[in-house]
Amino acid sequence: MDLHPPDEDAYGRVTNPGRYQFVVDATRTMIDDLVATYEVEATAGIPSVDFPDFRGSATDVVRLHPSGGADLAFMFTDFPGVVVRAGESFARAFPACGCDACDESPTDVIDGLEELVGAVVEGRYVEELTRRAVSYTFAGVWGSSSSEKRLERGDWKQHGPLGRRQWSPWTKR
Secondary structure, 3-state, the chain: CCCCCCCHHHHHCCCCHHHHHHHHHHHHHHHHHHHHHECEEEEECCHHHHCCCCCCCEEEEEEEEECCCCCEEEEEECCCEEEEEECCCEEEEECCCCCCCCCCCHHHHHHHHHHHHHHHHCCCEEEEECCCEEEEEEEECCEEEEEEEECCCCHHHHHCCCEEEECCCCCEC
pLDDT digits (tens, 9 = 90+) for 25-35: 999 999 999 99
User: How many structural domains comprise the chain?
Assistant: 1
Q: Is the per-residue pLDDT at 1 higher than 60?
A: no
> Is residue 31, in this structure, part of any structural domain at all?
yes
Amino acid at 33: D
Q: Is the per-residue pLDDT at 24 higher than 90?
A: yes
Q: Give the pLDDT score at 2.
A: 59
> Is residue 10, in this structure, part of any structural domain at all?
no
Q: Give the pLDDT score at 156.
A: 86
Distance of CA 115 to the CA centre of its chain: 10
Sheet of 125-129, strand order: 143-150, 133-140, 125-129, 163-166
> Is residue 159, in this structure, part of any structural domain at all?
yes
> Is residue 109, in this structure, part of any structural domain at all?
yes
Distance of CA 108 to the CA centre of its chain: 14
Residue 43, domain extent: 16-48+56-166
> Is residue 11, in this structure, part of any structural domain at all?
no
Average pLDDT, the chain: 90
Average pLDDT over residues 112-126: 95
Contact 128, 73 (CB under 8 A): no
> Is residue 4, in this structure, part of any structural domain at all?
no
Q: Give the pLDDT score at 89.
A: 85
> Is residue 9, in this structure, part of any structural domain at all?
no
Helix axes 21-37 and 106-121, enclosed angle (nearest 10): 20
Q: Please state the φ and ψ torsions of residue 62, each to the nearest 5 degrees.
A: -120, 125
pLDDT digits (tens, 9 = 90+) for 140-156: 766 788 888 898 988 88
In order of 9, 15, 33, 70, 167, the CA distances from 172 in angstroms are: 48, 42, 12, 14, 15
> Is residue 2, in this structure, part of any structural domain at all?
no
Q: Which of 42-46, 49-53, 110-114 is predicted least confidently? A: 49-53
